[in-house]
Amino acid sequence: MTEMRIYHNPSCSKSRGALEILQERGVDADVVRYLETPPDRATLEHILDAIDDDPQALVRTDDPKFKAAGLTKGDVATREQVVAVLLEHPEVMQRPVVFVGERAVIARPSERVLELLD
């Protein structure tokens, strides 16, 4: 199978669920704990290129940390703003993001990871 990578937050139930689905199917994935090693600009751009969602989908705008940072949805209205916010506040990145090759999904719900296993 093509290389698989998951941008994972172990404290997130959806992220743990996606990883569990992969493990149950015997899929070996490179696990990136993005809070320990935050993605750089190139990585964020790569994620945005690979997902089918609007750039804003990559930001947890409903997360208390988003509001505590003084951010509003207007602060992530464009792709460049999304990248800038996530570079400064990686803790508000939507998770998990799962890649197979050059395709990726935000696995919310966790079962969305199955879209990549076809």
The one catalytic residue in 12, 27, 69, 87 is 12
Domain count, the chain: 1
Active site residue 12: yes
CA angle, residues 47, 112, 86, in degrees to nearest 5: 30
pTM of structure: 0.92
Using pLDDT thresholds of 50, 70 and 90, give the confidence band for residue 1: low
Mean pLDDT of 40-46: 97
Single out the residue of 113, 112, 65, 105 nearest to residue 85, CA to CA.
65
Residue reference for tokens 């750089």: 40
Single out the residue of 54, 59, 47 nearest to residue 99, CA to CA.
47
Q: Which domain holds residue 81?
A: 4-117
The model's pLDDT over 82-92, given as tens digits with 9 standing for 90+, comes to 999 999 999 99
> Could you tell me the CATH number of the domain that includes residue 16?
3.40.30.10
